[in-house]
């Protein structure tokens, strides 16, 4: 849920964070000196202030270290947005300031870091000139990272954990364009590279590989049944890709649908296996949190601690559209899958806190298409027949959603 009272949200976030040391707490708060109008500026999207912030600085604590600045979504010339990701060792406190243009200075977002240094390999200034980002630069005296924005661009800031990342999502023209055009679908084969995901050694199944093949078959199928659609994959081979990069691509392409495709695995709950389609939302369901933690590469405590904050970035209207998309995909994937496995279980549409979906500006789902660790499904997954059935199901769910808009 995303509409609970703000005092409750504060309580939730603090409650979740109590499991960590104070130092590990990372706080977002709005700058008191922010010079832009509160109601019409991006601050409306940003997490609310933390009242106890001033007590937080802990002298003598270990310094955090900015390891890398990655900029995603800017490969194409006419990209609709960019994502800047700051990756840290340790968890710095930070303050964000969103500033209007003044004199020669463009509108900009400054991330002021407390007790943080940065590696020599981090470039002092990177010209971007695309996706709403003019330049990303480091500044002193207090260490900060400044994102100079292009005209009409807007940004919002959130953080992810394990490793600690501050993410600045910039939208080139503030709001989505509503012009009529060919629908764009971005499919995201889960994992890849150094992160194979789940596996079943007995059947020689690796999630990253199976997800890639199902995604490719899904793309082929969408192109066949909806020739107008443009379909893109976040990865075409067994290369690694960060969770942030995947959604950044979908935002940059102004995709109409983003679907991350995975295979499930479980220890205790595989008596039935089955298909599940997830949307991004908070959850108290332990199974859903465990699965999210595994897919996110985090611990369960991290997910439950951070989820209220992150879910607020996701607007309610978008959750409803994601649910509509999820229900269609769930139904068609089950019915196609059941042609091969008549007893394929329906685990339903569920909500959880998948990092890969955070910040998506379009209806976005994560499909756990079957269980690698449930024997009948594992055996079926070794066949092209079953993989194609699942892909056909996912594709017709997406096509049905696009046609019904």
CB of 88 vs Zn ion, minimal distance in Å: 25
CB of 293 vs Zn ion, minimal distance in Å: 11
Tell me which residues in 296-355 interact with Zn ion (CB under 5 A): none
CB of 297 vs Zn ion, minimal distance in Å: 10
Q: Return the SS3 of 134.
A: strand
From 135-143, 230-238, 287-295, 304-312, span contacting Zn ion (CB under 5 A): 287-295
Contact 230, 182 (CB under 8 A): yes
Q: Does 262 bind Zn ion (CB under 5 A)?
A: yes
Nearest to Zn ion of 25, 214 (CB atom)? 214
Q: Return the SS3 of 158.
A: strand
Nearest to Zn ion of 295, 321 (CB atom)? 295
* Contacts (Cβ under 8 Å, ≥6 apart) of 265: 198, 199, 200, 207, 371, 372, 373
From 18-26, 37-45, 179-187, 294-302, span contacting Zn ion (CB under 5 A): 294-302
For residues 41, 44, 295, 86, the Cα torsion angle rounded to the nearest 10 degrees is 40
Q: What angle do CA 260, 290, 88 make, to 5 degrees?
A: 75
Q: Does 246 bind Zn ion (CB under 5 A)?
A: no
Mind giving me the DSSP string for 211-244? Answer: HHHHHHHHHHHHHHH-TT-EEEES-SSS----HH
Nearest to Zn ion of 55, 194 (CB atom)? 194
Nearest to Zn ion of 143, 190 (CB atom)? 190
Residue of minimal Cβ distance to Zn ion? 262
Nearest to 158 by CA among 374, 343, 355, 325: 355
CB of 190 vs Zn ion, minimal distance in Å: 4
From 134-142, 231-239, 290-298, 307-315, span contacting Zn ion (CB under 5 A): 290-298
Rg (CA), the chain: 21
CB of 117 vs Zn ion, minimal distance in Å: 34
CB of 192 vs Zn ion, minimal distance in Å: 10
From 21-29, 63-71, 114-122, 192-200, span contacting Zn ion (CB under 5 A): 192-200
What's the CA gap between 401 and 202, in Å, rounded? 37
> CB count, 10 Å around CB of 61?
15
Contact 328, 401 (CB under 8 A): yes
CB of 73 vs Zn ion, minimal distance in Å: 22
What's the CA gap between 225 and 98, in Å, rounded? 45
Nearest to Zn ion of 211, 219 (CB atom)? 211
What's the CA gap between 17 and 303, in Å, rounded? 10
CB of 373 vs Zn ion, minimal distance in Å: 12
CB of 355 vs Zn ion, minimal distance in Å: 12
Q: Does 189 bind Zn ion (CB under 5 A)?
A: no
In the stretch 197-236, what mask flags binding to Zn ion with x, by CB under 5 A? x---------------------------------------
From 109-117, 261-269, 342-350, 386-394, span contacting Zn ion (CB under 5 A): 261-269
Nearest to Zn ion of 82, 214 (CB atom)? 214
Nearest to Zn ion of 148, 377 (CB atom)? 377
Nearest to Zn ion of 262, 312 (CB atom)? 262
From 80-88, 166-174, 195-203, 275-283, span contacting Zn ion (CB under 5 A): 195-203
What's the CA gap between 244 and 301, in Å, rounded? 20
Both structure tokens of 12: 């939730």
Nearest to Zn ion of 262, 361 (CB atom)? 262
What's the CA gap between 133 and 85, in Å, rounded? 13
From 179-187, 191-199, 232-240, 387-395, span contacting Zn ion (CB under 5 A): 191-199
Tell me which residues in 49-108 interact with Zn ion (CB under 5 A): none
Which residues share a beta bridge with 368? 262, 276
| β 199-200/81-89 pair status | unpaired
Both structure tokens of 211: 């997800």
Q: Return the SS3 of 6.
A: helix
Nearest to 195 by CA among 243, 244, 247, 161: 243
Instruction: Examine residue 330 and say whether the peptide bond preceding it is cis (omega within 30 degrees of 0).
Output: no
Nearest to Zn ion of 116, 200 (CB atom)? 200
Total residues interacting with Zn ion, rule: CB under 5 A: 4
Q: Does 190 bind Zn ion (CB under 5 A)?
A: yes
Both structure tokens of 297: 């590469």
Which spans of this chain sit near Zn ion (rule: CB under 5 A)?
190, 197, 262, 295
């Amino acid at each position: 849920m995303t509409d609970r009272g703000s005092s409750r949200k504060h309580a939730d976030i603090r409650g979740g964070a109590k499991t960590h040391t104070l130092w590990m707490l990372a706080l977002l708060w709005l700058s008191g000196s922010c010079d832009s109008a509160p109601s019409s500026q991006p601050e409306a999207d940003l997490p609310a202030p933390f009242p106890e912030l001033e007590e937080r600085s802990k002298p003598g604590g270990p310094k955090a270290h900015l390891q890398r600045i990655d900029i995603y979504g800017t490969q194409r010339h006419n990209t609709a947005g960019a994502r800047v990701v700051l990756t840290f060792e340790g968890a710095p406190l930070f303050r964000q300031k969103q500033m209007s243009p003044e004199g020669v200075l463009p509108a900009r977002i400054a991330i002021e870091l407390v007790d943080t240094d940065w590696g020599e390999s981090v470039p002092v200034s990177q010209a971007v000139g695309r996706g709403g980002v003019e330049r990303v630069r480091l500044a002193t005296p207090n260490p900060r990272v400044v994102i100079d924005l292009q005209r009409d661009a807007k940004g919002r800031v959130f953080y992810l954990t394990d490793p600690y990342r501050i993410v600045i999502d910039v939208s080139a023209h503030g709001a989505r364009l509503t012009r009529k055009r060919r629908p764009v679908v971005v499919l995201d084969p889960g994992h890849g590279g150094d992160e194979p995901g789940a596996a079943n050694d007995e059947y020689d199944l690796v999630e990253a590989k199976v997800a890639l093949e199902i995604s490719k078959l899904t793309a082929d199928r969408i192109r066949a049944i909806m020739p107008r659609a443009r379909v893109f994959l976040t990865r075409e081979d067994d290369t690694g890709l960060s969770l942030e990069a995947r959604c950044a691509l979908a935002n940059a392409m102004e995709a109409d649908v983003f679907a991350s495709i995975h295979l499930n695995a479980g220890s205790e709950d595989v008596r039935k296996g089955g298909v599940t389609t997830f949307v991004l939302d908070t959850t108290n369901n332990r199974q859903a949190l465990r699965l999210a933690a595994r897919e996110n590469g985090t611990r369960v405590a991290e997910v439950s601690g951070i989820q209220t904050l992150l879910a607020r970035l996701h607007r309610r209207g978008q959750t409803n559209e994601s649910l509509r998309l999820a229900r269609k995909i769930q139904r068609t994937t089950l019915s196609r899958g059941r042609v091969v496995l008549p007893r394929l279980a329906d685990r339903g549409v569920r909500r959880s806190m998948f990092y890969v979906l955070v910040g998506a500006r379009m209806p976005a789902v994560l499909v756990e298409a079957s269980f690698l660790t449930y024997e009948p499904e594992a055996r079926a997954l070794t066949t092209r027949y079953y993989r194609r059935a699942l892909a056909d199901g996912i594709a017709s769910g997406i096509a049905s959603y696009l046609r019904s808009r």
